[in-house]
Chain A
Amino acid sequence: MAGAKENIDRDTIEQVEQIDVEKYKYGFATDIKSDKSPIGLSEDIVRFISAKKNEPEWMLKWRLDAYERWLTMKEPNWAKLNYPKIDLNEIYFYAAPKSTPGPKSLDEVDPELLETYKKLGIPLLEQAVLAGVEGAKIAVDAVFDSVSVVTTFREELAKSGIIFCSISEAIKEHPELIKKYLATVVPVTDNYYSTLNCAVFTDGSFVYIPKGVRCPMELSTYFRINEINTGQFERTLIIAEEDSYVSYLEGCTAPMRDENQLHAAVVELVAHKNAEIKYSTVQNWYPGNKEGKGGIYNFVTKRGDCRGDNSKISWTQVETGSAITWKYPSCILRGDGSRGEFYSIAISNNYQQIDSGTKMIHLGKNTSSKVISKGIAAGFSDNTYRGLISAHKKATNARNFTQCDSLLIGDKCGAHTVPYIEAKNASVVFEHEATTSKISDEQLFYCQQRGLNAEEAVALIVNGFVRDVIQNLPMEFMVETQKLINISLEGSVG
């Protein structure tokens, strides 16, 4: 395989050298060994990425088809978001880390990368795993600028037949699973950003849990965006076969950036009969500075398919970062008796904009869903919950409970709740509760009277406000989340 890749690299370089005058047309001006694709987007860039990933022909074709479709699509504008148009010709669609061959063990991992993890505040436990400390049992599939750099504990997982690898690797090693499942939850033509992702996704994670297996550890991935102006297009696919269970953690941090960065990931989950998938995210990408300059644009499509009877998918998200967030982790409740859950904390400060929520699509009988959303807006930010609960004609006895609470800090921010409900049969029971509150001067004064300063007081009150959701997070995320909340609300009072 490596030989083939080198051949492509060499061919390309030679080709480019020969047709020097036309290099702008093909966009191959850069050495293909370079860690970056040429700037902008074109069919050639799609080919470049596919070649870079050493993908089989069918995958390239799949990408090109998606690219064709994408060319006919328009950017959605229904969300309550306001941002300057993204110029895709100003973005690098592919960037690889400096180290060329994948490290065989942790000893081979660039110490600078480990140092970076430390600075990013990755919990000690995970750091220990990265440092190879015995007994620290969390598998970390680290995604560093779109390419998997290190994958640990794979052998141990493999013993129970679990596959946990990068999606590029899965495309090569498990094409039958990829062909069977890819884009079956989020169709290729689902939306502008997801279709774009199909064409240019660079990497992401793949998880396969075989029948009857309970994944013995939390699977976690750390994303980090490093290169300036690099669009990030991750793609994750998780499949839980009958009677299996998996809990997956996704956490992201990014260093200070001045340029807006586009991030358009796609996550697909498939739960077969009696299977359960828990997917938890802590997202704290760079939100831009106090004046609203810079920051990440996070346009994500996350969807789970409860394909089998009595299957369960639960999403828990903590959104504190990004300049703009457009994100609706959803569940398709196809199997009878299947269950979907969505627990969300979305914090916006300064000039951040969040439009997030969920869709619970009840298709099967006796399906149930639960939505707990806690939105916190401070500064000049805008925080919208947008939710759809729908029940199909056949979804008899579908149940939903939605609790949607907003907390405002200061009077220059906004919180909005946009719930859509569609019930196509009479046996459905959908309950919706919504509250909007402010941190009162009385509460602040009371806390201050006990010695907390204004910022500590706000953090404490906010932590109380989100308690219902925090309790659903895996242990290692709880502490991190509480810290994150404090950091994200810095400067929101006073």
Chain B
Amino acid sequence: MSNMLEIKDLHVKVEDKEILKGVNLTIPKGETHAIMGRNGSGKSTLSYVMAGKEGYEVTKGEILLDGENILELEPNERAVKGLFLAFQYPIEIPGVATMTFLKAAMNAQRKARGEEELLTPDFMREVKSAAKMLEIDSAMLKRALNVGFSGGEKKRAEILQMALLKPKMCVFDETDSGLDIDALKIVSQGVNALRDANRSMLIITHYQRLLNYIVPDVVHVFSNGRIVKSGDKSLALELEEHGYAQYDESI
């Protein structure tokens, strides 16, 4: 299997309204693709449906992860199979220290795969090195996950989780929004460090700037619930210049 992700003619309804209207997307192993598109065009919806969030009705189509249809799987089962979603709006978990959450997530995945639980010293070592790469200080790891975190801190915490969980398919929903220029570089370096031949990435963004740091193999334009154009990284530059209007009527 050389494709990590195959989305075929995906139609999705939310409360009787069709949001995704026939998405087709194939990401080969090791490739990084970007999706750009207007507000409300359905990008987050696509990421949620991939991850298995409730409330979305798939009326047609399928999603294959590494060749396997995942639409019937629970969100956690998809996660265990290596799908990771960096949320546009990460959720607060009061009272649960970031460190505790990381350990719980890592061990839950290991357990589901029939592996031994991580030993605390090994866990600590891994967390420390990942946190260092993302310039996250240890005080933040003791705080409740995402509670009172600044926008940028939340996004870094997402990438930290990704770095530790080592998924094979990473989806980033506007990870760059809310990041200052320095943070954008740090986060991009973190993401780039994870790029390899067996890991694919899907980056949802509004800004071409991120794609200067994380250079995509393919850029897709998303409009009105589907992909309307695909091209190389220069497509992002073109979009930046001309906007989405030219794609509005190409339905």
Residues of A within 8 A of B (CB): 440-443, 445-454, 456-457, 460-461, 463-468
Contact = CB atoms under 8 A, between A and B. Distances in A.
Given A448-B79, A450-B109, A456-B108, 9 more contacts: A441-B55, A448-B75, A448-B76, A450-B108, A453-B74, A454-B76, A461-B96, A464-B93, A464-B95
B96 A445 contact: no
B205 interface: no
B157 to A, nearest CB: 11
Return the 9 tightest CB-CB contacts between A and B, nearest first.
A464-B95, A464-B96, A451-B109, A450-B105, A448-B75, A446-B91, A467-B95, A451-B79, A448-B76
Given A441-B54, A456-B104, A447 B95 contact: no
A466 B109 contact: no
B80 A464 contact: no
Contacts of A464: 93-96, 100, 144
A446 B109 CA distance: 14
B104 A452 contact: yes
A460 B74 contact: no
Interface of B: 51-55, 74-76, 79-80, 84-85, 87, 90-96, 100-101, 104-106, 108-109, 112, 144, 161, 165
A238 B80 CA distance: 52
Given A450-B161, A451-B79, A443 B108 contact: no
B76 A453 contact: yes
A464 B143 CA distance: 11
B93 A449 contact: no
A451 B76 contact: yes
Nearest to B105: A450
A454 B74 CA distance: 9
A450 B95 contact: no
25 contacts: A442-B91, A443-B91, A443-B93, A445-B91, A446-B87, A446-B91, A447-B93, A448-B74, A448-B76, A449-B51, A449-B79, A449-B84, A450-B105, A451-B80, A452-B76, A452-B105, A452-B108, A453-B74, A454-B76, A456-B104, A456-B108, A465-B94, A467-B95, A467-B96, A468-B95
A460 B76 contact: no
B165 to A, nearest CB: 7
Nearest to A443: B91
A154 B53 CA distance: 58
Most central of B84, B105, B161, B165 by chain A CB within 10 Å: B105
A445 B53 contact: yes
Contact of A451 (B87, B95, B108, B144): B108
A441 B48 CA distance: 13
Contacts of B80: 451
Contacts of B93: 443, 446-447, 460-461, 464
A448 B105 CA distance: 9
A468 B94 CA distance: 11
B101 A460 contact: yes
B159 to A, nearest CB: 13
Most central of B74, B79, B85 by chain A CB within 10 Å: B79
A453 B108 contact: yes
Nearest to B53: A445
Contacts of A440: 91
A449 B85 contact: yes
B90 A446 contact: yes
A450 B96 contact: no
Contacts of A468: 95
A466 B95 contact: yes
A448 B79 CA distance: 8
Given A441-B54, A442-B91, A449 B96 contact: no
A450 B84 CA distance: 7
B95 A463 contact: yes
Contacts of A467: 95-96
Contacts of B105: 447, 450-452
Contacts of B52: 448-449
B85 to A, nearest CB: 6
B51 A460 contact: no
Contacts of A449: 51-52, 75-76, 79, 84-85, 87
B79 A450 contact: yes
A195 B7 CA distance: 71
A461 B147 CA distance: 13
B109 to A, nearest CB: 4
